[in-house]
Chains A and B, each alone.
Chain A
Amino acid sequence: DAGVIQSPRHEVTEMGQEVTLRCKPISGHNSLFWYRQTMMRGLELLIYFNNNVPIDDSGMPEDRFSAKMPNASFSTLKIQPSEPRDSAVYFCASSLEGFQPQHFGDGTRLSIL
Chain B
Amino acid sequence: QKEVEQDPGPLSVPEGAIVSLNCTYSNSAFQYFMWYRQYSRKGPELLMYTYSSGNKEDGRFTAQVDKSSKYISLFIRDSQPSDSATYLCAMSDPGNTPLVFGKGTRLSVIA
- Indicate whether A and B interact: yes
Minimum CB–CB distance for A15 against chain B, Å: 24
Interface centre among B34, B41, B96, B101 (most CB of A within 10 A): B96
Task: Tell me whether A97 is interfacial, beta carbon within 8 Å.
Answer: yes
Q: Contact check, B102 vs A42: say whether CB atoms are below 8 A apart.
A: yes
Chain A residues with Cβ below 8 Å from B46 are 101-103
Are the CB atoms of B96 and A43 closer together than 8 Å? no
User: Is B71 among interface residues, defined by CB-CB distance under 8 A?
Assistant: no
- Asked if A42 and B101 sit within 8 Å, CB to CB, the answer is yes
A98→B97 CA distance, assembly (Å): 8
Q: How far is the CA of A93 from the CA of B95 in the complex (A)?
A: 17
Check B43 against A101 for contact (C-beta < 8 Å). Answer: no
Secondary structure at the A interface, as helix, strand, loop or mixed, is strand
Task: State the total of A-B contacts with C-beta under 8 angstroms.
Answer: 50
Q: How many residues of B are counted as interface, with CB atoms below 8 angstroms from the partner's CB atoms?
A: 22
Q: Give CA–CA (A51, B95) in the complex, Å.
A: 15
Chain B residues contacting A93 (CB-CB under 8 Å) are: 43
Nearest CB of chain B from residue A87's CB, rounded to whole Å: 15
Q: How far is the CB of B6 from the nearest CB of chain A, in Å?
A: 9
Check A99/B49 contact, CB under 8 A, given A42-B104, A106-B42. no
Q: Are B96 and A97 in contact (CB under 8 A)?
A: yes
Assess A43 versus B49: contact at CB under 8 Å? Given A50-B96, A99-B95, A99-B96: no
Q: Map CB proximity to B onto A41-74 as digits: 1 under 8 Å, 0 otherwise.
A: 1110100101000001000000000000000000
Chain B residues with CB under 8 Å of chain A are 32, 34, 36, 41-46, 49, 88, 92, 94-99, 101-104
